[in-house]
Structure 1
Amino acid sequence: MLKRKNMKTIMILLLSMLFCCSWNAKAQTKETLQNRIQMMTKESDPEKNVVSMRNIIRDYQLDSVKNSEDIDVLKGQVALSFLKAGTFLKFEIYIGLIRNKFNQTSYLNMAADQLFRAGNNMDYAQALAQKTVELYDSYKDDPSARPDGFPLEDWNRFMRMAAYPYYETYAAILHENRDDKTALIFEEKALKGIDLDDAMSSSITLYSTLLVSQGQEDKAREILMKLDPIQREGNDTYRTKIAKTMFTNQEASNFSLLDLHGKRVTLADLRGKVVVLDFWATWCAPCVASMPAMEKISKQHPEVVFLFVATRENGKDAALRVASYVKMNKFPVNALMDQPMDQHTELFQVASAYKVDGIPTKVVIDRKGKLRFSTKGYSSDRELINELEAMIAIAKEQ
């Protein structure tokens, strides 16, 4: 069976559609609607989330027509909290109240994925995943499903992106429930039109596993043989391209932060080693999705120091929240807590020093303490690993 921890990034496509996980360094200190919604994701009592939803609608004077998208998100969060509490009837009630079909499909898929990752109620997870793809198929070619003001070209691209996680989730659950024949059909739908080079490693693993289970060993071998040798960090053209983005003679900003055990880590003390900084947050879906790839590359390079700077983790329980995430996932190690600047609580010291305007951001520093690379965002494990491999190799040569 496919390990559940490998089913890791299919949700970032949906989450990035519904929320913006990139933040501006000049963010206003005023509490925003997004902040209120994020607080709902951390609430374990679904009835309290019902109250929060009503209060948000009242406080922001959300109109059922003009602000229907925001209200859909609120209902989706309430539905997921009932799912997590095991109250499936109320989950279905609130899912049914979501007005936009795309939003409804997205939250259905999130629900199926959450049950899958928890390994609980797999029959119900399969039913939700099946309902997801059936609902998606019912409107994906329907022009009337496109929201007003949504450009047609963007909508078509939007729908193609959505198909990947919807079909992928269903295929993974079917595989877990030992229906590989049907799982293969939907995994191929998930990968249709996608360059396998850009597919998640978990997708390739699942696809090849399903092919073998259905007697298509040759096709599985062909795919793996094609993908395994692709290590662009060893490709001169790719290395040249990456080298062009290198900072030439810029001193890396020194910092001194505490790790989760209270130990102080200072950049100056790491002179003589290549250092990789990963700016992340527990609430940032792409940051979390990139962690398995970061774990893999950090294990491949024990000579490199990887420091995971948790930034913009607001609130007095920030360190506890990060520690809880690390304990649950057993990664990242070397997690450091960035600190807010005294007069601007939305600005954090090290992130500001490195001009980080969106997360995840990876920074590579050479042995002499020079800033060499800074790269923002996450799209796939393969791209991230190849990019960092090239950057680390170049930094070692400086």
Structure 2
Amino acid sequence: MNRLLTLAFFLLTTPLLAQFRYLPEKPLPGDVVSFTYTPRNTPLASETAISGIWVRYAAPSQMVASLPTTATAVQEGNAFVGEMKLPKPPLSGLLFTFQSKTNSALIDANNGHFYPLLVYTDGGKPQPHATGGQASVLVRTAYAAKLKVKSDWAWAVQQYERELAQNPQLRPQYWSDLIATQLRLQKPGAKATALNQIPAYLDSHTPTPDELTTAANLYDQLAEPARATAARERIRTVDPTGDAAQKARAEVVRKEADLAKKLSGFASFTQAFPASTYRGMLVSSVAEAYFKPGQFRDLVSFLAQQPLPATDPMLLHSFAGQMTDEGRGIPQAEWLAQRALTVLQQRPLPKKASPEQTAQRTSDIQNFRATLAYAFDQQDRFGAALATYKQAVAEPDASDPRTSERLWLCALRANRADSVLPYIEKVVRVGRLTPRLRSALRAYQAKKLGSEAKGETYVRDLLAPYRAERQAELAESFVNQPAPGFTLSTLSGNTVSLASLRGKVVMLDFWATWCGPCVASFPAVQQAAAYFKNDPNVVFLFVNTREGGPLSRVQSFMARQTSTFTVPLDRDQRVADSYGVLGIPTKVIIDPKGRVRYRSLGFSGNTDATAEELTLVIEALKNLQ
């Protein structure tokens, strides 16, 4: 730490000219640098533990590898000092930000300009990009965003202009970033200025394909499609067979809305560039153009002519999944699912695949097989369907409930239920089942055992360990608060009061017709209510609150429901306020003793999981009588 002591002595005997200083004053790449930061008059002035966070910068094309790194700083009097070894080239400088170790919200980023540490050449001059690279940190990295520092685009423009004044030969590396950053300022006339600057730069020399591609992208940003197309077309004259030309032509085909023209463009492109890396993108684009209007036969015919490596298995699987779910084009869905599975299985994993990557590949293959099995199933090809379902199912505790449901229903239709029953029972024991699977299994056992009651007992016995475990987990989150009393008129003209329901479990669902999540969660609550429909000790109240509109709207909504529900009207929101309802939907469950034991806000989007949770909570609270 001799360098730190020397630096500290230097600071004590020399007036501070800046809050951030470093030695040597003209460091070279690879040098060991000592730095000091003085937090006086900054948000960190009273902090005793500070870190320096820095990011390296160089030429714009090298910024992609710039990641924030932490430098340790030790308090020495009123300053913080540290020491670090500069990275090797390419390196033009570092930008520092200082942050409190105890409160990450406290940051000093020098008013959004950060603290630069410039790196020099052997001749004692700043490295090229020492100034412009600071702007590139804002434009080409997420450094400012990660630190929640507001970007100063006017400053970035100034840094670019200073760099080009010092090193005009670097304009090819900065011209487009400078124009794009000027546009971020949103000053009057910025678009007109940019539309002059772009052709002025391109006409100053023979542009490269990359420059023309960049110009086309700028024109796209400026909403000038004709100029963007002209720039891409110009690439053909500069480098008619290169990557940039291929990309430009592929982009034109991808954006073509007319299917006939898209097919013509695709044929022309593949003839000119049969081995292009952009072929896969275009195959997907044409495939989507066939899929959207439902031209499934033509879609299959087209894909059958394409090489497997140019096929996106995820896209084909998504097509097959939508088609089987909707019952459309099932023979073609089978072909797509089989094709997707073949491509995926032939696509190699990285040589050093992580456990997560390997697990994801296994999961994808199982999902693809499940879709293929469902396509077989819908064509009454039960043998192929059951064999493929069995390949698709995972361990019971990681199984997909929908696939398990389809497996069981397929086995029932094929009169082979006993062959999959052991697996289905394991699925039920770990709670991985849907309401339809539960109902179908109950009906199967009712017929086998002689009564619906025995069928229900069979399913409940299977579920008992899982439900007990889940109830224990939910009980840990139970609250225990007195439930405010209320008396409300209902939509049907009756009166309901909490006092009259003492001794019962009461579920309050606070909702309104205009509330999307409320309406979306209705099926889950209805499902739970149906479960307890024969239990007089469980009451569901759909408390309409915060409606803000005519009563007829509520009446119309409830008239469209398939079941009858008690709908208390909390027109003045007094009940909702007394229960601390911060937003809707809010669900509150009251135990038989009149205590609030459970509340939830919002809706997860999972109907079955929500219904199951409400059911488990209510059953647990019934036992508290």
TM-score (norm 1): 0.49
Larger Rg: 2
TM-score (norm 2): 0.34
